[in-house]
Structure 1
């Protein structure tokens, strides 16, 4: 017992000597054996605590985990150490967090058995809280630094992408920074190092001098400098008017001015916009339309000269008027009650109103457009703009047009009446050949109604044998605009086909473009029958005449020979003249037979290979023998063989030569010429005779058509030679034409294909 007491005294001495709160606990009940002042202060107790179990010394719920660790160490002998142990303790009834570092170790007796526990506790609450405060401060500083850097980057990005020119230079004008807009404005490459550049690169000599000697000297530390300068683009050397703001930059440590910053706005768009506004204002001012501008209450701010004239107002009175005053009461009410609300809703209105002339009181109808003008930023309506057109000329023109339309309708009805009164079928088509009008005569002849015949409907009545030919001719005229003339058969309402002469001409505009086709159909069936009877008669008559004429010619030739043998030359000459007249009669009969063959489709052509020039030479020689007054001059340039009907071609050339001789009685020469290429040969016969009038040239190749002299000459013949020649040329797939000047002569030509 004395030994235990001595140990307790030793422990007490050690505990009291410890600089940190310390307590010793002994026995199974964990009784407080020794405790120093620091521990008593920590527990908020006095020395009476000694000898009591630990659970009484630490009744707080926040300290029960410490009691549990003390018991565990006593029972296991394993030491326990905890740093910064967070403990909640009631202080004046309020729970507060404390932080402790405590150590609990077992005390053993001489036998090595647990005899007690020693505990040390260090209150490090202030240290932990200070460390946390420092950590929070560091975190806040790091966040603030990161935010500052991000804002710096955002600011630099904003500056670099600003639409205005921004730059920084030192006091000597050497550039330090230039944003993208400045580089673009002044012709600096995006990747170029701007620190190699200076103000000298961006000014003319005169402007640089002004900036250095005047502008820079006027930059104030507080307010900077504002004004206009002219910068120069490095690449284009264009001088650019600019609005500039200069500020001085200082060293943040010393406060010394170390450079200047500049923001520059390109004034060219504003100058162009101002010029455009001036032009627009001039246009509005000289406009012949009524233009006005008023505030949102309708008080007049501006009226152009045309507007003042229209309403009879002096310019001096303009500022004292309201738009309601120079409109009629009805229009003013409409503006106030209907138009104004719509303007506020949609921003615009258009329609008809009435103005009042301020001097005469005349009511002036107008078509007006009104617009709301809004403030750029607030979008609030601030003014009303209007433009109006005087409708009086239009109304007057409208009345005149109505009158003209009435007259036109009357004229159209009269024309329709006239078209329906003529005995022929009259029709009209568009430029593509689609019929859009047919007169009533169609209904008297055709088995289909007019409504069905429009367009291309009429074609279903055409004879199958004529359809291809009729369409080919019609398409050719539609493409060329040349007059259309053809004969073909159409079915009538009685189921028989009748012959029609169809003609059409194109109505063209000033540029030669077809507007309409106007045509007529004339029933020529009876005429065709008469022609057929005539052709039959001519065929029979010419055939019946041919045999006796041949016999007469033979008798005359025999008698002429007998008289010449008898020496009676006088009677022989008379018989020779008779023989000549019989030859003329034979030629006329031959022509009539040719016409009959042509009319009945029995004209035949043969084909052979022959020398064209040789054939022409033979014809010239033959005709020359019969003409003593004319020399046939040759101009032959086609010396090739061709394939064709030699006799028929000779017949055409003989006709042209004999006609040239006949119709140039006062001339002494005829010119015949040939030329050709790989596709055709052309031959022309030129005379220097009476010529042919323009109006006769279109009919010169018609059957029985004859040209007479205009004074003493009357030329014999039936008018069949050129008709027969043209039909022969057509049968040979050629073409024939004439060029003539009355009183100077004619040139007849025909061409034949070589293939």
Structure 2
């Protein structure tokens, strides 16, 4: 719109701004520069008024309103679109209400007035019920005719709704007073006039039209309550009391003398000086309630007394949190807490040890459903002497009800821990006995000596070959005739001693004979008369057969020991006492009658072997293994003999070694033969070494000569012969080493050297000898080692060549080193044929080779690993193998960094 300096549009109000910015050219009244003075004046009056005002102008009744009227339009309603719009268009929803008013004013009917008029329209996103007090007045234009209408209005919605609510509340209050059968009263403190409704007057014995003086009202109160009531009234009239009045008393009808207990409740009102100007309230007949309360109190007292005097544990838990309202001493003893810790508190807060055991859920279920819960021998963890222990409880949860429904839970409990433990011990004992009988395949019986009735187990019937429910005579009939007297004598003895035991034979229906062992106990009455016999029967047929077989085996064993000159012994480890055969003593050069103990054996062993023998025995005991050792002894005649001894310990139930049993064998002759063999091998190997060396030299010269002549085929044949000479040289070297080892002449030259450097040199040399396999190094830092460098190299060469030989179908060999606990560890891993578990312990034995067809596949004397093992042992180290058949092997050896 075109701006002009119109005084009536000055100001910062929202509506003044909107009118200035509105495009009035699109309306029927045109732009403000064409408005008549009457319109300009009226718009100025409306905008500058702080009273809510609205106006219509022109034939279309274009709408104007001020800032004070703006809130009545709400949000999300007609504002600001209403400004400048024709009334009939924009007020279409209530036009049927507005049109008669507008027509009255425009037709000269004068102004209108309406108070608390309901005129609903759309605002705040919905159509609301709105109440208005308003006036429609005409605005005259320059011709003296109504050119528009000015509306002065105010919204009275809150006032109308408030009055309606008060009216409804008053009606509800009257209804509530009547429904509750309350008397109402109003005391004027200035004149002590006491006004009451008809119900109150009837209680006081007055007619409906009668007025009540305060002294008259008090005179109806029972004498015992008058002074207290008067004091309560006086106190309520004091500002310090807050004006509250609440008391109970008894009134006595002046004519009928009927007593009525009432409760008076009221509130005093004070003026600005703090003087009471009014005290009013209600009077409620609570006679039945008080009587019920007195009766309930008496009942609760009796209930509490019953609980406190009860011999079993009882407690009452009130409310959803199960607050302990009352409990007796047995319950406190069960909880392991005193009253000061429990009373008046939620049970699971004051007894946290009981939480999380399912008791909360049980209590809640009883409280919510009203269903009784009972448990027997229920396991509960409760405090005992400062620690939480397992207890067993029989208990019942019963819902506690009053007129309002379930208010809590009654718990009744008794501890049965000792009974449960005792019962379970009996059950355990019975179960153990049953399991023992089952495990031992024993039959059991219960024989009544008074009635002659017998109860036998299924196993007993099976042992006797009987079915159904046999009588006592049925069992006796199975006894072999020759053994019936044995049973009779044992039975007669049992009636005197109380213990029954005998072995006898029974005959099954198929004619087979079985051995049984019967054992039992006789029970006597107070007059010492036998009344009951409990016992067991065991089928010992197999044991009898085993015993006979054992006798035969022992006889054969004695013959074998004597034939093989093996001496056997049994040593009591704690005492050193020995039981041994004559051959055992003969192996030590002693007479068969000689007294012989373990210390005697040790004294005959040559000193250099004694500690080793004791160590081997201790290791066998610790490892539950067999010990085997060879050592020399000196007979009493001074001669030296070799002994091979073996043994194994026996252990008691606690796992403690108690007995050592074993054998000894005089191997002096074998040792002499071994010595002669070693000497022969040594001489033969030494004598063979020189001609083989010469042959090898001639062979190499001959190979070079043939190669130079171009005779390649003959040269290749000579080369193969040279390879066989290498094998022969290696075999001779192994035989020489073995003879040196057996004779103790294998020498070692110790020096410090770089261990990994030695490994690298050996690997490099051996890699040149094989085209098929690749040797991989996986070496960690090991540093210097003090050992025989050549002997360690010999072991490593042996292990790597073995790995190559026994992995013909794989290509990788891995050599690894590392340092661990002052040792250097070497591993040689192949992925070849592997070694079965049962053969791994023998691979380091002298002359041991793989058995079967593989013996020809992988030729050799079986000395390489034996020599390697002896070298490592003499270096103070250890050697072992991990292998799985078909998956390869890893041979390890470990050497101390510095030899002791």
Q: What is the TM-score of this pair, normalised by structure 2?
A: 0.42
Higher relative contact order (CA 8 A, sep 6+): 1
Q: What is the TM-score of this pair, normalised by structure 1?
A: 0.50
Q: Which entry has the higher C-alpha Rg, 1 or 2? A: 1
